[in-house]
Amino acid sequence: MVIYIDAPFGEEHKAILRSGTHNDELIFKDEIEKPEDQLQALLRADILFGNPKPADWLEKAVSLKWIQLHSTGFDAYAGIKTPAIVTNMKDYYAQPCAETAVAGIMALYRGMDQFALLKEQHQWVGYPVRAGLQLLSNKKVIILGAGSLGKHVAKILSAFDCEISFYARTAPEAVIHTPEQLLAAIPSADIIIGCLPGTVQTRGSFTAQMIREMKRDAVFCNIGRGNLLEDESVLVEALQQKRIGGAVLDVTATEPLPTDSPLWDCPNTILSQHSGGGNITENEGIALFFLKNLERFKNKQPLLNVIHLERGY
């Protein structure tokens, strides 16, 4: 089989793929110089491993039988038509993303963002900082989304005796099911954490009115998708005017975040630059997952993490 690989792998990860494939031709995009030659290589491939750009290359590659994305999200390919089976990394990033979300919230609560700046400035403030520090313990938390990511966040927060409420349309774990119920619950929440995927249904689902209903010391965290907010400028305004306690944003409406974005200068705001899913064994784990799914593909077994681009999930 011909396997076209469009993923950010170093030589050590390429070696894992080579050692785990037999009688297959592996073509690495980064070893082909010209875009037109890259496309021609993709067009003769049976399997694609990675997230190709431009996205419409997928529609041109009609010989593909299986596409394994190296990400969980696939917003860029929503609506793309392909005869191939498509799989993603689904739960792979849930634990690191959950840890990033909780780490950011704790950094705000315990003043770590302030202490990092004071260290850079060689400035000792000490005791006066203590008056503004908060505890994560026993906070009321609304988690938007009851999928794998939301559940991982909840598991970590349960160790802090947080009162957790899931928001989801149909998930049995959820106690908040409609936008109206969410709007009514927001004023009593200490923390709101976005863990929703980027589908047509979730786009803009956290509205400007919901931001305005947040209490003064509440924290908004988004570890899911940057299009969750109906209007990011309303969040910016709330942060600038200190009408909410702060924000932890792994994802934003535009990425990379423009250098002139007001979010850079918002107080009590942590920007983790869509790195929430990262860890030192990230690419090794992705490569090993592909090989596991490749074995299933060759043995005509059901593939793991099948998704439907046209449905958005």
> Residue 183: which pLDDT band, with cuts at 50, 70 and 90?
very high
Confidence of residue 313 (pLDDT cuts 50, 70, 90): low
Whether 312 has a pLDDT exceeding 70, the answer reads: no
Tell me the mean pLDDT in the region 66-77. 92
What's the CATH number for 93-271? 3.40.50.720
Percentage above 70 pLDDT, the chain: 99
Does the pLDDT at position 73 exceed 90?
no
Mean pLDDT across 200-217 = 95
Return the pLDDT at 111.
Answer: 97
The verdict on whether omega for the bond into residue 54 sits within 30 degrees of 0, i.e. cis, is yes
Across the range 86-97, mean pLDDT stands at 95
Instruction: Output the pTM of the full model.
Output: 0.92
Give Rg (Cα) of the chain: 22
Residue 22: the pLDDT is 86
- Distance, in Å, from the CA atom of 45 to the CA atom of 189, rounded to the nearest integer, reads 50
For the segment 103-132, the average pLDDT, to the nearest whole number, is 96
Q: Quick one: CATH architecture of 2-90+279-307?
A: 3-Layer(aba) Sandwich (3.40)
Q: What average pLDDT is seen over the chain?
A: 95
For the chain, domain boundaries = 2-90+279-307, 93-271
Tens-place pLDDT, residues 12-68: 999 999 999 989 999 999 999 999 999 999 999 999 999 998 999 999 999 999 999
Nearest to 195 by CA among 148, 139, 230: 148
- Given the structure tokens 């700046």, which residue do they identify? 117
| Whether the domain at 2-90+279-307 and the domain at 93-271 fall into the same CATH topology | yes
Q: How confident is the model at residue 304 (pLDDT cuts 50, 70, 90)?
A: very high
User: Nearest 5°: CA angle at 9, between 15 and 305?
Assistant: 95
Q: Which of 57-61, 195-199, 245-249 has the lowest mean pLDDT?
A: 195-199
